[in-house]
Amino acid sequence: MTDYADMTLDELRLALAPSIAESAIFDGWTQAALENVAEMVGADLDVAQLAYPGGVMDMIEAWIDTVDLAMAEELTPEKLGAMKIRERIRVLVQFRLDAAQGLEEAVRRAMAVMAQPQNAPRGLKMGWRSADIMWRLAGDTATDYNHYTKRAILAGIYSATLAVFIDDESEDKQATKAFLERRIEGVMKFEKVKAKFLNSDRETFSVTRFLGRLRYPSR
C-alpha cells in the first residue's frame, strides 16, 4: 500500500494526479475532485492541498507531467531511433492519446479550463513543454529558429488531434488514428511527388513544412 504520508510535496503532486484526472470526469477539475481523491487513498487533505498551491491549473499540469514522464520512460531514444521521423511523431502523439483514453471528459474539462483567458498563457507553456519533450525524444537537435517552430507546430498538431479524440466514439478510436495517419500520409506523398519536379539543391524535404500542413488539416 502506498504511504502518502512519507512523500514530499513534489512526489505527492504526481502521485495523486492520475486519480484526480479520473475524479475530474465527474467532478471537474475542482477542489471536490481533490477532496474525493485524498479521502479515497487516505492522504491528508491539508497536505494534498499544499501540493497544488495554484489550485486547478496545478492539478492539470501535474497530470500532464505524469504523462510526459511515462512517455519518456516508455519511448526511449533507443526505441525511437530505428523509426523514420514520421513514425516517431505518430508514435509519440499516439502514446499521449492512449494515456488519455477513458478520460475524455476530464480532457475536455481540462481544455476548457486552460482556454480561460487567465489560464491561456500557462496552458500554452504547458503545451510547449510537452512538444519539446516529444521532439527531444524524437532526436531533434535543432538550435536555430526551427527549434521553436517545430515545437509550436507540434503542439498545434497534438491539440487538433486531441480535439478529434475527445469526440471520437469509434471502436478503439480508429477515427482518431485514421485522422492522424491521413495527415501524415498525405503530406509525405505530396513531398515525394514535389521532390521529383524540383531541384534538390533548392528544395528538400522539410519537417517544419510537413508539420505545418498537419497543423491545419481539413476534416
Residue 148: partners with Cβ closer than 8 Å, 6 or more residues away: none
Instruction: Write b or e for each residue in 152-186: b if 16 or more Cβ atoms lie within 10 A of its Cβ, otherwise e.
Output: bbbbbbbebbbbbbbebeeeebeebbebbeebbee
Rounded to whole angstroms, the Cα distance separating 73 from 113 reads: 28
Work out the pLDDT band at 197, boundaries 50, 70, 90.
low
Work out the pLDDT band at 85, boundaries 50, 70, 90.
confident
Residue 160 is predicted with a pLDDT of: 85
SS3 75: coil
pLDDT digits (tens, 9 = 90+) for 22-71: 999 999 999 999 999 999 999 999 999 999 999 999 999 999 999 999 99
Rounded to whole angstroms, the Cα distance separating 13 from 15 reads: 6
pLDDT at 170 over 70: yes
Q: How far is CA 10 from CA 4, 34, 41, 173, in A?
A: 11, 16, 17, 33
Exposed, middle or buried, 1 (CB in 10 Å: 0-12/13-18/19+)?
exposed
Average pLDDT, the chain: 88
Residue 23 is predicted with a pLDDT of: 97
